[in-house]
Chain A
Amino acid sequence: MSVTAVEAGTPVITGWSAVSPFGVGRAAFVEGMLSGRRTDTPAGEWDGAGERACLVPGFDARETLGAKGTRAMDRVTGLAVTTVGELLEEYGGTRTPEPDPETALVLGTTTGSAQSMMSFTRASLTGAKPFHVEPAVIPNSVMNCAAGRCAIWYKLKGPNATIAGGRAAGLFSLVYTRRLLLTGRARRVLCGAVEEYSRARSWLEFHSRGREHSVLSEGCAVFQVEPAGQVGGTPLAAVLAVDTRVSADGDPAGAMRACVNRVLSRGGVEPSALWAACPSNPGGAAGAAEREVLTTMFGRAALERIPRTAMAGDPGAASVPFQLASALALAQRDPAPHDRPVLVTAADPDGAVAAALVLLLADGAR
């Protein structure tokens, strides 16, 4: 199947990039993810709850983006600005495009930068006066800082949204992206999610999840999404259907099953036609339910076709973008999944459950 066979208006991914524990950029992600190498490293100097973390190696916003405009930039913003820059450079040919009112940016998050927020409050609590705080970091303490700074950096004047959805944030972003395209509010959407590693996040996760607490990961992946029928870039994948739910009655497996069945039905795909299922694997009860449902429905082999190396550690809001990037990375190297549907799922311990059915297109490998 080629993109011309996909229903008009369907969101089509025509480019992507990532900043991940494998390094900066798409090539680093593809190479690292397919090599299967581990990315967890000692993280003692961060003073977090865990001794190890999967960090973007040597990441520093000032070094990556230059000194101008980065003095007060926090890590989550640096990760997002770097990723969007990589994407624009690879697919648009420039990091300094003309002002663009037709390109939207949609970024998923958990809580923005908990570190920026808590550091700011700490300064207020411990300074000689409660207002002895650094004014330049005030924007960092609001959750839409990363998306707003990306817009400034790359002159993206279209709709600019930040959606808080925990480990399902990437799929909420995709739903919102589809809506922006269907309603003509944007011609192109840069859609993804970002999460930083920090002392604050590490301790919040430690206290929230108790024994389930795992090694944390970080990073950002952003996808260029255009509507089928009006695609400018090379079609890599079509998002056939997305569904999101809440396991309101404490039945995460039931919610996951309903989500998966709905996207298969909307996409007109038989369970047996699915090439792979790629779960978010957040651990705990939510993760167990996700895995059980997918294994029962599609068999163990379907869960093993897409390597899980990029999902080592808990990437938080970056989970779904890393899952989707892993599928695209594999399709770039291996013809087996071409024109086959894959399922990307997310289960957040806070209750959100989501699934997307994505068709990997042969066009992308040309």
Chain B
Amino acid sequence: MVEPTTIRVMVFGEAGAGKTVYLAGMFRQLSVARPDSIITLHTREVDRLKLNRIYTDVVNPRLHDFPATTTWVADPWHFTCQFTNQHGTFYPMAVEYLDYDGRMLDPIHGELEMSDDDVDADPGLQQLYAYRDRADAYLILIDGLKLLRMLCGAPELEHWLENYLGQQLQVIERRQDHTGRRPPLHLVITKWDLLDGRVIDGEPVTLDTIAQLLTRQGIFADHLERRFHDKDRPVRLIPVSVTGPFAAFDEQTGRVVKVPGQPVIPCNVDIPFAALLPDILRWRLDQMVTDLRSPADERTVERLRRSALLLRSARGLTDSVRSPLGGWITRKLLARGVGTSASARTATAEITKGLLDQLGVYFDNRERLARERLATVEEEHRRRLQAITTEREAFALMVESYIAHLDDFEDRHPGSVLTAGVPA
């Protein structure tokens, strides 16, 4: 098996947007295999228990309120992805998800009003920036409650969406690679149940309404245009709800409340992850091919082959010089006036033969060792090739299954692919 690579997912989300609840809901949904989701997420035991606790607090009707805001932390949660199909069980990657206080996204101009020195000296912020700037994929969470207020005409939110999207896109733009490709990006509307079908100004809110609103935001529209050529990496708009009808907007108090008696029906919680997977898996497949053609391996094979050939030539040389060398030594001894007797010549010939035999055995052993090592390396190479071929087939199957899952999502939510053009 190829060692899993860790994929860093940076989730942008303001305070209250629902990062923590979404994380707990996503883990709940993806930690158990389902017919439409073959990949499962696993984490260390203590984190599993913590995420379950957060989720059960969210859906517990006896706890009146939703969990409090996350405090000043920027520690990533680590998950291993596992999937099983007819080719075996695979761990294609590990995924990291950063949870943090949303105020950290704008510590200077936001409500924190931190100074430049404070930002530089803050270890939590530096951790967040380091993670954000090395992320492999991005999700921008848009708070459904804030969106609802904006659609209802809250004056303080008039330019909120454009400013918020613009700030996050600046960061994502910096991650454009030398080929011009940008990392995967999807937009996630949280608390979708508060918006879905709500009648505002005589019109029901739909995903199309929101998609149109987003594509009217100048900076975001420009960004989408630049991604238009990247057809195999679409930007999606994904409405999610962790609780479904169990949470509702109380018009009288203006609060999001739990509705005991209503069922908890998560909506699209796994889709943002599923939308990132095909991109990431394709990238992983490319990486496997690169790994297979490792220059270090090829150099080792070439070096061992040359050594074996050289040693065989040396062995051959030892046999071919056997009689000329014996004659040459005898002539030298005669020229110096030593070893003229028959017994001395016999002794000299014996010694020469012995030395050449020893040399021959030495070359034989070295050649055998080189060939054994070569066989081991080639066997390892073949084994890896087989493993990777199997894993590639398994990955390809998984990519297909996720694309089918996303197609199904697109059928249910036409207009969710933002890069396909401005929805009608």
Q: Do chains A and B stick together as partners?
A: no
A residues neighboring B (CB under 8 Å):
none
